[in-house]
Structure 1
Amino acid sequence: MILPHLLVATLIASTCFTTFAFGAPRLPNDEVEALREIGRTLGKNWQFDVDPCSGELGWVTQKPVKGFENNVTCDCTFSNSCHVVSIVLKSQNLSGVPPELGKLPYLKEIDLTRNYLNGTIPPEWGSTQLVNISLLGNRLTGSIPKELGNITTLGTLTVEFNQLSGNLPPELGNLSHIERLGFSSNNFTGELPTTFSKLTTLKEFRISDNNFTGTIPNFITNWANLEKLEILASGLNGPIPPGIASLKNITVLRISDLNGTNTFPPVNNMRNLEKLILRSCNITGKIPEYLSNMTELKVLDLSFNRLSGEIPSSFKKLSGLDFMYLTGNLLVGPISDQITSSVGGNIDLSYNNFTFENTGALSCGGKLNLFRSSFGSNNSGTDLCSGSTTCLKRAFNPLKNQGTLDTKNLHGPS
């Protein structure tokens, strides 16, 4: 008879499953149900016929491709149970934003980078103990909920490349452990909240490509641990606060598109600078000599300002530079072959007022752009060292309704 055989097989299967269940820590049922809800909201077809903490059937990618990670990670060091601590789902074509994260009390990380998430950021996330929130590269709208300011455990909040709008909530100033804030490429407006002055643990702050108003606030000088500051076409005006000199740990300083007249900011104490970009900031005066002492510098971009005088002869010491862009200024004097041959990478000196006494001595080598770089009779239709170098010119960013430089098309890496 078939029925007794089926009964025996069922009993064996049940016994095996029970042995597995009691032989290893498992995820509590309430967290399993929370994952079911999260999966439905995201449009993620997780398989629940095995324990989500088993690392099987789509819960963990065994050999993940960078940028396409698909992992649910558990911590099974608790007695007789596991708990979900991380959900990383990058480039998985997901659509919804799950408010149910609060039902995973041990969750520390949610990374939904580069999906198709639409809708708003759930205020319910404010009840979590998250350390990392990354929503970069989606289609999120609305404003950032003030409730996120309750997540005092938060170390990273990245919402760049979305369609978020409104003012940044002052409550984010309560994030006492925050190290990285990324708001670039959205439609944020208003001034930066004064409560941000309390964010003394910050290491990275990025607000480029937005519609903020007001000036760059003086309180950024409170961020003594800051390593990267990016304010490219943010909507903010100058001047650059002189107190920026106190930020000695900065390795990347990127500022562009400032209205008003500015003097060269005092960056002489930033001895670890690797990228210094002060593009289209209406900076007047001479290029500081001390820049030649920044031995870690790889990118120097001072394009489209009103800098005058000569290139400091000491720049010949900048042999580690990969890119030096001084295009669109009022620079004068002879161009030293010692400088152009010493700098290891590409040099753009176009659209200036240099003089050339011995053009044959210049070493172009395909890396030097002198297109329209001189003024007067010695520039009679001759474009020096412009051979294979792309002509760099002002461009408008089609993503913005304002006259800003297209940071993707100008000057190679930024």
Structure 2
Amino acid sequence: MEVSPGLSLLCVALLLFVSTLPPISLSACSSHDKEVLLRIKEDLGNPYVLASWLKDTDCCTDWYAVGCNSTNDRINLISIQYSNLSGEIPAAVGDLPYLQTIFFHKLPNLVGTIPETITALKFLQQLRITWTNITGTVPDFLSKIKSLNNINLSFNNLTGSIPSSLSELPDIRTIDLSRNKLTGSIPETFGSFEIQDFYIIWSHNQLSGPIPGSLGAQNFTKLDFSRNDLTGDASFLFGKNKGLQYIDLSRNNFSFDFSDVEFPSELYNLDLNHNKIYGTLPAGLTELSNLQNFNVSYNRLCGQIPTGGKLQSFDQYSYFHNKCLCGDPLPACQ
């Protein structure tokens, strides 16, 4: 079949026209979300880390530090890290209705408090604000965000007490408030969880008083209360049938008899150094085949170190400065 010269010219013209068209984007973020993000950028002083946030580009495909939901092209993640940007967390963050993750990390000039506007975020699962200079308290209003499963506010300058209302979050799995200036006691309400896999990391604060007995009924996976001023008995946190894998109670003022404590089989980290714990080392320690880190130094323990398991694989620094502990790896008992 012969193609007419006129048809050939038409095809060439059509190809040239198509080649000048802009590429079709497979994703286009919401105009509302773009407007909010540009406002956030302005509130933060138009920092270099957000240089890709340009009005004429697509925020789902071209912008750094954000993510979009693949089904509706709405912003579901904002992650700003390692920047010298200055200012407070913009209140406009609460105007991104599909946001699931907020992550601000290593922002030393980020100051102010956590804005209450984030309570409007009904899908927010992760609130991670770490290594900043935000101040104020751990907000009680966080308990209104029922979708939260991870709160990490570590390495900040937060003060005040831990809100008991955080225990009302139905899906919470991790609360990390370490490396702040928190005071007061551990709320009794944290013994009311019905979650099996739960992490509490509240180390390096100024918490005081005893651990509520109600926490003994819980099946925590990780507990880190180290470097506080907590007192009293903590032996009820242990038990053969618990899921505890990691516990650090070091550098507090706990005082209890360690002799008859029983341990969950999956325990791999046990750090009790610098307390006032007394009694003997339980023979059950030799049954912990997963034990990787162990330290009972600077306590008031006595008697022979049980032989077997992994206890002799730890050096003398895991045992020294006790009242009268003896046996390998310490000097032999007399």
Deviation of 1:222 after TM superposition, in Å, equals 0.7
Match of 1:30 in 2: 32
User: Structure 2: how far apart are the matches of 1:213 and 1:265?
Assistant: 21
Structure 1 residue 229 and structure 2 residue 200: aligned?
Answer: yes
Deviation of 1:313 after TM superposition, in Å, equals 3.8
Of 93, 109, 113, 1:101 maps to: 93
User: Structure 2: how far apart are the matches of 1:229 and 1:125?
Assistant: 23
Deviation of 1:263 after TM superposition, in Å, equals 6.2
Deviation of 1:140 after TM superposition, in Å, equals 1.0
Deviation of 1:133 after TM superposition, in Å, equals 1.8
- Shift of the 142–242 alpha-carbon distance from structure 1 to 2, 3 Å rule, reads closer
**Given that residues 304 and 328 in structure 1 are in contact (C-alpha distance below 8 angstroms), is that contact kept between their aligned partners in structure 2?**
yes
**DSSP 3-state at the match of 2:321:** coil
Paired residues in the alignment total 307
User: Structure 2: how far apart are the matches of 1:47 and 1:228?
Assistant: 36
User: Structure 2: how far apart are the matches of 1:171 and 1:245?
Assistant: 19
**DSSP 3-state at the match of 2:214:** helix
Deviation of 1:223 after TM superposition, in Å, equals 1.3
User: Structure 1: how far apart are the matches of 2:188 and 2:236?
Assistant: 13
Instruction: Structure 1: state its 5+ residue gaps.
Output: 1-10, 61-70, 188-209, 363-367, 379-414
TM-score by length of 1: 0.63
Structure 1 residue 153 and structure 2 residue 124: aligned?
Answer: no
Deviation of 1:135 after TM superposition, in Å, equals 1.0
- Shift of the 26–148 alpha-carbon distance from structure 1 to 2, 3 Å rule, reads same
Of 155, 158, 164, 1:164 maps to: 158
Match of 2:288 in 1: 318
Structure 1 residue 126 and structure 2 residue 124: aligned?
Answer: no
**DSSP 3-state at the match of 2:69:** strand
Question: Deviations along 1:156-192, whole A, 9 cap, x unmatched?
Answer: 33222111234556765664443333322223xxxxx
**Given that residues 39 and 46 in structure 1 are in contact (C-alpha distance below 8 angstroms), is that contact kept between their aligned partners in structure 2?**
no
**Given that residues 319 and 325 in structure 2 are in contact (C-alpha distance below 8 angstroms), is that contact kept between their aligned partners in structure 1?**
no
Instruction: Structure 2: state its 5+ residue gaps.
Output: 1-15
- Shift of the 142–326 alpha-carbon distance from structure 1 to 2, 3 Å rule, reads closer
Deviation of 1:274 after TM superposition, in Å, equals 2.0
Structure 1 letter corresponding to 2:30: P
Match of 2:189 in 1: 219
Deviation of 1:298 after TM superposition, in Å, equals 1.7
Match of 1:52 in 2: 59
- Shift of the 262–106 alpha-carbon distance from structure 1 to 2, 3 Å rule, reads closer
- Shift of the 122–233 alpha-carbon distance from structure 1 to 2, 3 Å rule, reads closer
User: Structure 2: how far apart are the matches of 1:244 and 1:180?
Assistant: 15
Match of 1:331 in 2: 301
User: Structure 2: how far apart are the matches of 1:271 and 1:148?
Assistant: 29
Deviation of 1:228 after TM superposition, in Å, equals 2.1
User: Structure 1: how far apart are the matches of 2:300 and 2:74?
Assistant: 62
Match of 1:191 in 2: none
**Given that residues 38 and 100 in structure 1 are in contact (C-alpha distance below 8 angstroms), is that contact kept between their aligned partners in structure 2?**
yes
Question: Deviations along 1:258-309, whole A, 9 cap, x unmatched?
Answer: 4554363252145332223233333232432523xx3322222222333334
More displaced, 326-335 or 229-238? 229-238
Identity %: 25
Aligned CA-pair RMSD: 3.4
Match of 1:267 in 2: 238
Match of 2:13 in 1: none
TM-score by length of 2: 0.76
Structure 1 residue 302 and structure 2 residue 272: aligned?
Answer: yes
